[in-house]
Structure 1
Amino acid sequence: MIDKIEDLDFSGKISKNELLNVLKKEASKIHMHDIMLASAYIQEDAKYMQAGYREEFVETFTRAFINRFKDIREDKKNYEGYIDNKKLEEFLKVLDNQMKESRIRQEQYFLRLAKIVSIYTTFILEASIHPVGTSFPGGFKLKFENGEYLCPVKEKQLNTPGALCRFCVSKQDKSI
């Protein structure tokens, strides 16, 4: 049985349930201390944002991490279908490059947690990587309307090398 994301066999089909089981094993190794270190990184990374926006951003992401880990650990659903192996491999390359470039301990914890949460969100739930309600500069928020996730910055981030936006199911919010 596979215990780590890195041990997945990309030469054959990977079911959503198989990936979920691996993510559950990875999530079971995460402790509150890890989440606290990741939260410290989020706070540090956001220190130059405007005060009101920064506080909301830090709270939203910290709460999302805690809730997503709880969701992963408790998810007993049966998911139909298989994941797109090529897309997951590309996704992992982006995350692995970010990990290699990280210089501080808190960022490494954040990336470790973000990897689990973002894979779950993108490949299992097929939901937006950012939580609904996430604020972006200019006062814009990620929305869910008529069965679609609408992101105010998707198109601007598609060519950003480290951004996961190109993998996200969100669509550009055309009202912005």
Structure 2
Amino acid sequence: MKSKELLKKLKEDASKFSIHDLMNVRLFLEKDMEYLPKEYKESYLKDQIIYFINTLKELRKKNEEELEDFEIDEDILNKLYNRINQFKTNTKGEDSFIKLSHIVTPYLIFIAKKPLHPIGMRFPGGKRIIEKNGIYYCPVKNRQKNEYSLCEFCICKGIEELKNNNK
């Protein structure tokens, strides 16, 4: 699949994503994060929702003609969609979360080439995603290896790589 074709599909899907869907995503994330420490939960939820909204806005405005047309690895794209579909837990709002993930995640990975979480977002332990010289580094990149994690698809490198490069 070509990048312009993927972008066109994602834009169509984004145009159908409603404020009601976004409210359901928030409900889902609140339930999903119920066991996070309170001091992280509130900022994590706020940062992630704002990132989703801003990414949807960016995607809707993205001009296909300005995008370089390159090949998207469909095996990786299908693996990503299959991983997202594993989120099924029968939790209120999950259908909207999966719908949003099918839009925002491939856009961030393949088109925008941005991290799946916002730069500066604080994780438990107080560490944050950072950008240095055009490269993104994540403090949890190499700690989230499970059948639900999307980290393997994310553009970020592990924060350890930044520390190793500075030696």
Identity among equivalent positions (%) equals 32
Which consecutive aligned stretches of 4+ in structure 1 deviate over 4 angstroms post-superposition? none
Contact 1:79 1:124 in 2 (8 A): no
Q: Which residue of 2 aligns with 1:55?
A: 42
Q: Does 1:117 align with 2:104?
A: yes
Following the alignment from structure 1 to structure 2, what is the Cα–Cα distance between the partners of residues 51 and 93?
A: 31
Q: Does 1:167 align with 2:156?
A: no
1:146 paired residue among 133, 140, 147:
133
Q: Does 1:79 align with 2:68?
A: yes
Following the alignment from structure 1 to structure 2, what is the Cα–Cα distance between the partners of residues 73 and 96?
A: 23
Name which of structure 1's ranges 120-129 and 18-27 shifts more when overlaid on structure 2: 120-129
Gapped regions of structure 1 (runs ≥ 5): 1-13
Q: Which residue of 1 aligns with 2:78?
A: 89
- Using the size of structure 1 for normalisation, the TM-score is 0.86
Q: Does 1:155 align with 2:142?
A: yes
Contact 2:27 2:92 in 1 (8 A): no
Q: Does 1:131 align with 2:118?
A: yes
Following the alignment from structure 2 to structure 1, what is the Cα–Cα distance between the partners of residues 134 and 76?
A: 22
- Using the size of structure 2 for normalisation, the TM-score is 0.90
**Larger RCO (CA under 8 A, 6+ residues apart):** 2
Please give the root-mean-square deviation of Cα atoms over the aligned residues, in Å.
Answer: 1.4
Following the alignment from structure 2 to structure 1, what is the Cα–Cα distance between the partners of residues 143 and 153?
A: 14
2:18 paired residue among 15, 19, 31:
31
